[in-house]
Amino acid sequence: NAGVTQTPKFRVLKTGQSMTLLCAQDMNHEYMYWYRQDPGMGLRLIHYSVGEGTTAKGEVPDGYNVSRLKKQNFLLGLESAAPSQTSVYFCASRPRQGGQPQHFGDGTRLSIL
């Protein structure tokens, strides 16, 4: 009964390094989302996907790339990490049919030094 799984849970990077965050869901959901949340702030949408092979920009997409090669996985990439990308990253998924809530992973805590 995994739901939405994010890996890794924690990571420390140096400025300029690259990394990929993985989100996997086992609920056969069509829609997937990546958010970031900074202290004292709300969730901000980075990118989202409405199906395998499709992605779209959210509110704060700069500095990030995403891919959805398989329906169950949504990858978030940082090509050249910057201190401003220090944040908690949450992945979420939901079914296509209207009126359904999102299900969230338990987050990735990322620090960029």
List residues near another protein by CB under 8 A: 31, 33, 41-43, 45, 48, 50, 56, 58, 88, 90, 98-107, 109
Least spacing, CB of residue 106 vs another protein, in Å: 5
Give 13 or 35: the residue with its C-beta nearer to another protein.
35
- Contact at 8 Å (CB) between 39 and 91? no
Least spacing, CB of residue 8 vs another protein, in Å: 15
Peptide bond into 8 cis (omega under 30): yes
Give 12 or 79: the residue with its C-beta nearer to another protein.
12
| Residues 6 or more apart whose Cβ sits within 8 Å of residue 58 | 33, 34, 44, 45, 46, 47, 48
Least spacing, CB of residue 24 vs another protein, in Å: 15
- Contact at 8 Å (CB) between 72 and 25? yes
Give 10 or 69: the residue with its C-beta nearer to another protein.
10
